[in-house]
Amino acid sequence: MRRSVRRSKSFSHRLPRCVRSSNAGLPAPLICRSDSMRSMGIDRRHLLLGALAGYAVRPVCALAAPGEGGYGHKSGALYLNAYGDGAGGFGLAALADDGAVAWDLPLPSRGHAATIRPHTGEIVQFARRPGRFAIIVAAATGRQLDDISNAPGRRFNGHGVFSADGRILYATENDYAGERGVIGVYAADNAYRRIGELQAHGIGPHEIVRLSERPVLAVANGGILTHPDLPRLKLNLPSMRPALVYLDMRDGALLQEVKLPPALHQLSIRHLAVGRGDVIAVAMQYEGPEGDPVPLVAIHRPGAPDLQLLALPEKLRRRMKQYCGSVCFDRAGRIFAVSAPRGNLVTFWDVERGVFLRAITLADGCAIAPDIAAGMFLVAGGAGDLVRMHAVSGKTEPLLPRAGAETRHWDNHMLAAGI
């Protein structure tokens, strides 16, 4: 099978695509040309099983020796999650690791994901796509410090990440007129002024993460074309082209583009997490026929030519209903969790062996964050649940709801601050 990868001669070589502009003494922002994306139809019918037969799908394997760890409480960590109140209102709440609510901040509309600014107490909460706002919040108190409005012709896509020094915020955005994705660049130490943008090198960029060992951004280009006038309508499903791309965060150069086989072109790459050694865990959503036997979870090591698609028992794969909602590594960066809220399921994976460990049921469970011990996670659900889960032993500890007290319906993503 032909490799679906486009990259420079080596992962360390860069292909400059952007120009710099003046910015009052800050590192020069990147402003990239507005190349239009052409729709390309790809015939996928009757090719799925053949594509998977020639691709890197690992066998299912159970973990034989559980490593037990004690549950921790009142560690000082905070877990931030957007929510809906069931009556048309929305907010952002911070929880202690025993489920106690530390603070609660109203939001103007539905939130999606948050990111933390290194070396400060600030977090940025993004609106759900197509978003018009991002709010800067003091993590310790919940006080709103500032906000960012969308740039003309752009909408936020729900995710962002900071540079390692905390000076620059990168946010996934859509250029609807140009039918392309961009990465908005904001000077966090200059009132979050927008100082430029990078090409996302694809349509529908969603989650963006920063590698820990090099100045590189990884972007999940979902491949789905949308428009703010039709905010939840997917306009190009027959021709979508998802990809995982790596960008040099210093100049926006495209370092690598990793695509799926043509038969899987409707497998939208949506969410990413960075583990030990900068391995990327990938959670996907399938836009093709419901009965197609496609994998939904993958891993990738920067520089490798292909995604490593991971297998799990077919009964569980069907339960996931072709939809993953979030992905997260544990504190050690060796075990990751992938939620499937439509299937009321959370799956756990060993990244070093590329194998499925176990699944735990949680109604509408989606948001995941690392708990204070390796192999442990907090998971929140749309029904208001907050549950501590042990990936190896399968042990669970419900923290919310508390009788008569919980009216929050937790949204897709949880941010762990202070661990």
Q: What pLDDT, on the 0 to 100 scale, is given for residue 129?
A: 79
Q: 38 in a domain, yes or no?
A: no
Say whether pLDDT at 205 is over 70. yes
Q: Which helix (H) or strand (E) holds 309?
A: strand 308-310
Query: In which domain, by residue range, is 329 found?
Result: 5-32+45-62+79-417
Whether 73 is in a domain gets the answer no
Q: Is pLDDT at 60 greater than 60 in this prediction?
A: no
The stretch 323-331 carries a mean pLDDT of 98
What average pLDDT score do residues 147-159 get?
Answer: 92
Residue 72 falls inside a structural domain: no
pLDDT at 36 over 60: no
Band of pLDDT at residue 75, cut at 50, 70 and 90: low
Q: Is it the case that residue 235 has pLDDT exceeding 90? A: no
In this structure, are strands 365-370 and 193-199 parallel, antiparallel, or unpaired? Answer: unpaired
Residue 53 has pLDDT above 70, yes or no: no
CATH number at residue 121: 2.130.10.10
Report the number of distinct structural domains present in the chain. 1
Flag whether pLDDT at 281 surpasses 80.
Answer: yes
28-37, 60-69, 73-82, 280-289: which range is least confident on average?
Answer: 60-69
Amino acid at 215: P
**pLDDT value at residue 204:** 92
Q: Sheet of 78-84: strands edge to edge?
A: 101-107, 90-95, 78-84, 409-417
Indicate whether 69 pLDDT > 80.
Answer: no
C-alpha to C-alpha distance for 289 and 2, rounded to whole angstroms: 24
How high is the pLDDT of residue 239?
Answer: 76
Secondary structure (DSSP) of 126-180: EESSSB-EEEEEETTT--EEEEEEPPTTEEEEEEEEE-TTSSEEEEEEEETTTTE
**What count of residues does the chain have?**
419
* Domain-embedded: residue 289: yes
Residue 69 falls inside a structural domain: no
Task: Give the per-residue pLDDT at 82.
Answer: 97
Average pLDDT over the chain reads: 83
Residue 74 lies in a domain: no
Indicate whether 256 pLDDT > 60.
yes
Higher per-residue confidence, 402 vs 213? 213
Q: Is residue 269 part of a domain?
A: yes
**With 90 as the cut, is the pLDDT of residue 297 above it?**
yes
Q: Is residue 185 part of a domain?
A: yes
Q: Does the pLDDT value for residue 217 go beyond 90?
A: yes
